[in-house]
Amino acid sequence: MPLLIKNGRVITSTDDRAVDIYAEGETITRIEENIDPATLPEGTEVIDARNRYVFPGFIDPHVHIHLPFMGTNAIDDHASATKAALVGGTTSIIEMICPGPDDEPAAAYTEWKDLAEAGACCDWSFHLSVVRFDDLAEQQVRDLVANHGVRSFKIFLAYKGALDISDENLFQLMQLARELDIIITAHCENAEAIDAMQQKLIAEGKTGPEWHEPSRPRSVEVDGVNHLCTFAELTGARIYIVHTSCGAAVRRAMDARAAGVDVTVEAVIPHLVLDSSWPERPDFEGAKYVMSPPLRDPEEHDPLWEALAAGEMSTIGTDHAPFSFEGQKDMGREAFTKIPNGIPSIQERVDLVHTYGVCAGRIDLQTMVDVCSTQAARTFGMYPRKGEIAVGSDADLVVYDPAYESPFCEGDSLSQVDYCGYEGMERRGRPEVVTLRGQVVARDGKYVGPECGGRQVPRD
């Protein structure tokens, strides 16, 4: 069905203007100051966006759905997670494929792709984690790039003995990335240092979730950023540092950028609005807020928002990793090292950025679009099909009501997790209508689209 959005304030990363948008055949075909509905084909759906913003569909570049971790699996499936994403204004996600050290990359890709094809309601792509790099893995990586469109790979400088990669293999992988012109995304910490500190704390009887942050302090993260940037400088590989939690890590990445390293830095929404007091909540409730890198002191919020406003940090993702409090997070009651990591955020991200970024005067609306959509599309080869409002772009659009006010609460969430990580926090603004390739899929906090309507996004 053709679609016309009239009377809205259309905001992209570069423009802010009053125009109408017409979409037909899944793409935007006209953008004009005034499009008369009477001139359009019969059956065209007309949405009045008066007093509303119209954004390009948002992109979450860091999502976990099918995630084995700490002996359990994330509670969402692709249907629940992507419906939550769409209701929150996110029309495309990039999911992390996370195989184990004995798994073959090709088999992991097939497993995750089959699940996405069977359940995803928004559009999707993948980063593939590399936790082994023998001859077979290298051969399969080459094939995934050449024949399956995989354009980004994830490495962990954390989780000793489970997901971490040796320096020898890291160097080889980054040489290959340079050869194939693909991007390496990286979790930057220090697996050996964290393991030693965790063992020491547990031996001292410091077992609660409040000890998670002291086991992996800022210095460990800065060390991981430095390590990755050194390897990037040596190999010429492009790198993307995920979920950067502190100003010192950003500054180290910017030093590397000034020295010629091609480095992009990601923030995730928990680090921008939550702080280290949340994992300290009594009665083990703090376990809900265990993630890695951990939540930092509230003094870290301003440096991160300032880095986003200055263009030093390019994207805001979620690191959505939904583990329920009952039956999953509580596996770590005897030791914080056994708490599954993650704070569910896929539905709340856009409203949190609007509330605590735009409404708080930390960033403007165009920066919001840039860091929540356009830069992810540019970095990962999806632009201008995604992340833009232009003739020829996919008609992924968000009609946003900035006047809406209601606190965040678990009852509004479409995720299957049993808590909201932002319960009771102020919310200003909400997606009123969300379209995916020209089809309305969400209205007023409800999913109204088809089952399994998502597609894999081709990436250059």
Q: Which CATH class, in words, describes the domain spanning 3-55+388-413+421-447?
A: mainly beta
Q: Which pLDDT score, from 0 to 100, does residue 48 have?
A: 98
How far out from the chain centre does Cα 292 lie?
A: 14
Q: Which pLDDT score, from 0 to 100, does residue 69 have?
A: 87
**Regarding beta strands 315-317 and 16-18, do their DSSP bridges make them parallel or antiparallel, or are they unpaired?**
unpaired
Tokens of 185: 């995304």
| Domain map (residue ranges) of the chain | 3-55+388-413+421-447, 57-379
Q: Which amino acid is at 109?
A: Y
Token pair 């547990």 is found at: 202
List the CATH code of the domain at 57-379: 3.20.20.140
- Distance, CA of 353 to CA of 350 (rounded, Å): 5
Phi/psi zone of residue 284: left (φ > 0), alpha (ψ -120 to 50 degrees), beta? left
Q: Which pLDDT score, from 0 to 100, does residue 161 have?
A: 83
- Distance, CA of 414 to CA of 410 (rounded, Å): 9
Cis peptide before 384 (omega within 30 of 0): yes
The yes-or-no answer to whether 3-55+388-413+421-447 and 57-379 have a common fold is: no
Give backbone dihedrals phi and psi of 264, rounded to 5 degrees, phi first.
Answer: -115, 140
What are the residue ranges in the chain where pLDDT is below 70?
A: none
Q: Which helix (H) or strand (E) holds 199?
A: helix 191-203
Q: Which pLDDT score, from 0 to 100, does residue 71 have?
A: 85
DSSP state of 209: G
Q: Which pLDDT score, from 0 to 100, does residue 144 have?
A: 97
Measured CA to CA in angstroms, residue 287 lies from 208, 281, 298, 339 at distances of: 8, 8, 18, 7
Q: Which pLDDT score, from 0 to 100, does residue 37 have?
A: 97
* Closest to 30 (Cα-Cα) out of 53, 57, 10: 10
Token pair 């708080």 is found at: 360
Q: Which amino acid is at 75?
A: I
DSSP state of 362: S
User: What is the number of other CB atoms lying within 10 angstroms of the CB of residue 221?
Assistant: 28
Residues 400, 53 contacting (CB under 8 angstroms) = yes
Tokens of 28: 């935007």
Measured CA to CA in angstroms, residue 264 lies from 150, 175, 252, 415 at distances of: 19, 18, 12, 29
Q: Which pLDDT score, from 0 to 100, does residue 70 have?
A: 83
SS3 track for 419-448: CCCCCCCCCEEEEEEEEECCEEEEECCEEC
Phi/psi zone of residue 192: left (φ > 0), alpha (ψ -120 to 50 degrees), beta? alpha
Q: Which pLDDT score, from 0 to 100, does residue 61 have?
A: 98
Token pair 């998670």 is found at: 212
The strands making up 27-32's β-sheet, listed across from edge to edge, are: 27-32, 20-24, 3-6, 45-48
Tokens of 275: 């702080």
User: What is the number of other CB atoms lying within 10 angstroms of the CB of residue 25?
Assistant: 9
User: What is the number of other CB atoms lying within 10 angstroms of the CB of residue 405?
Assistant: 12
Residues 301, 274 contacting (CB under 8 angstroms) = no
Q: Which pLDDT score, from 0 to 100, does residue 163 have?
A: 87
CA dihedral 69, 73, 78, 81 (to 10 degrees): -80
How far out from the chain centre does Cα 247 lie?
A: 19
**Regarding beta strands 45-48 and 16-18, do their DSSP bridges make them parallel or antiparallel, or are they unpaired?**
unpaired
Q: Which pLDDT score, from 0 to 100, does residue 453 have?
A: 96
* Closest to 389 (Cα-Cα) out of 19, 6, 61: 19
Q: Which helix (H) or strand (E) holds 226?
A: helix 218-235
- Distance, CA of 73 to CA of 52 (rounded, Å): 39
Tokens of 184: 């390496």
Q: Is 208 in a helix, a strand, or coil?
A: coil
Q: Which pLDDT score, from 0 to 100, does residue 28 have?
A: 98
